[in-house]
Amino acid sequence: MTALRDLLELVRAPAALSVPGDVIAGATAGQALNGRTLGLACSSVCLYWAGMAANDWADRRLDEVERPERPIPSGRVSPGAALAVAASLTTAGVAVAGLVGGRRALTVAVPLAAAVWAYDLLAKNTPAGPTAMALCRGLDVLLGAAPSRSMVAALPSALTIAIHTYLLTTLSRAEVSGTDRRLPAATLTGTLALAAATAGPGARRADASARAAHTVLAAWYAAEFGVSQARAFAEPSAGRVRAAVASGIVALPALQGALAARSGATRTGLVLATAVPLARRLIRKLSPT
């Protein structure tokens, strides 16, 4: 029987701390933060974990060479079990979205689920890979805004998360082989520009505390992810790149919190950011990459 720890490793459980913030950022932008948001966040986590399991199933042959310690190549989880986990979590994620958010949520959840599987099975190892992953996270933000009258208000937040995801996914392609300095230099430049844009003026309804909070959280995001990329620039080895990718995952709640605060939800943004130190501790026990 497959052990619970092996399943948690298969789905990269700690990385899921970065997922509910997508939905919450979308909900605050669309003025749709309510009881349904929690259910949509659960849907999002299910779809994220499904993508992680499908990723390892699709990469099982490659991982025998590059990452033999992963659950499938190490023999701790069978390929069939991994595929069943991915399919079950996908079904659960879409079903929960429909139950909680109705037809409007399904119009986002179904394309999101399709995009997750398309990335894992088709796009990941192609030049379109980072864009496909960015699309997944952008749709995840829009899922949070689905119950609102219009999702247009959430598009800037969705684009911000998508850009972060694009940079992170591009960097992650070198976490096994290492790279030269140009890659971390480019992603670091993009990260700092994204943080600066996020720290800019927010919604008119945001008060002084919200403006201060979103600026501070944007700076925290830049420092959390930027320092590790700077280290990868100084020494672009596989280990340094992998550490930078992990930091990018850990730093995401700070960016999501900044977006929530920018929309006027100061307390929500600060609560989201508390996931950063928690995620940092959890990745010491289970790898998020």
What is the arithmetic mean of pLDDT over 13-28? 90
Quick: pLDDT tens for 102-125.
999 999 999 999 999 999 999 998
Say if CB 264 and CB 210 are below 8 A apart: yes
Report pLDDT for 203.
57
In a domain, 262, yes or no: yes
- CA 27 vs. chain centroid, Å, equals 16
pLDDT tens for each residue of 219-272: 999 999 999 999 999 999 999 999 999 999 999 999 999 999 999 899 999 999
Residue 125 lies in a domain: yes
| Cα–Cα dist 171/79, whole Å | 27
pLDDT of residue 280: 82
* Domain-embedded: residue 67: yes
Q: What length does the chain have?
A: 289
Q: Is residue 210 part of a domain?
A: yes
Calculate mean pLDDT across residues 31-50. 95
| Residue 127 φ then ψ, to 5° | -60, -20
Share of the chain above pLDDT 70, in %: 96
Tokens of 184: 């971390």
Q: Is residue 131 part of a domain?
A: yes
Is 287 domain-assigned? no
In a domain, 288, yes or no: no
- What are the residues whose beta carbons fall under 8 Å from the beta carbon of 63, sequence distance 6 or more? 56, 70, 72, 73
Residue 206 has pLDDT above 70, yes or no: no
State the number of CA atoms in the 13 A half-sphere of 69 facing the CB.
4
| Structure confidence at residue 205 (pLDDT) | 55
CA distance 257 to 220: 10
Is the separation of the CB atoms in 10 and 122 below 8 Å? no
Task: Give the span between the Cα atoms of 167 and 130, in whole angstroms.
Answer: 8
Written as six digits, the tokens of 87 are: 């399919």
CATH number at residue 94: 1.10.357.140
Pick from 261, 282, 280, 279: which is nearest to 270 by CA? 261
pLDDT of residue 277: 87
As for how many domains the chain has, the answer is: 1
Q: How many CA atoms lie within 13 A of 94 on its CB side?
A: 17
Within 8 A by CB and 6+ apart from 162, the residues are 134, 135, 137, 138, 141
Residue 288 confidence class, pLDDT cut points 50, 70, 90: low
Q: How many Cα atoms within 13 Å fall on the side-chain side of residue 172?
A: 18
As given in the structure block, the two tokens for residue 158 are 């969705």
Task: Please give the residue that has the higher pLDDT: either 113 or 207.
Answer: 113
What DSSP assignment string belongs to 51-103? HHHHHHHHTHHHHHHH-TTSTTTTTSS-HHHHHHHHHHHHHHHHHHHHHHHHH
Calculate Rg over the CA atoms of the chain: 18
Backbone angles phi, psi at 256, to 5 degrees: -65, -40
Average pLDDT over residues 49-70: 91
String of DSSP letters for 144-179: HHTTSS-SGGGHHHHHHHHHHHHHHHHHHTTTTT--
What's the whole-model pTM score? 0.92
- Is 289 a member of any domain? no
Q: What is the mean pLDDT of residues 75-99?
A: 96
Range of the domain at 217: 4-282
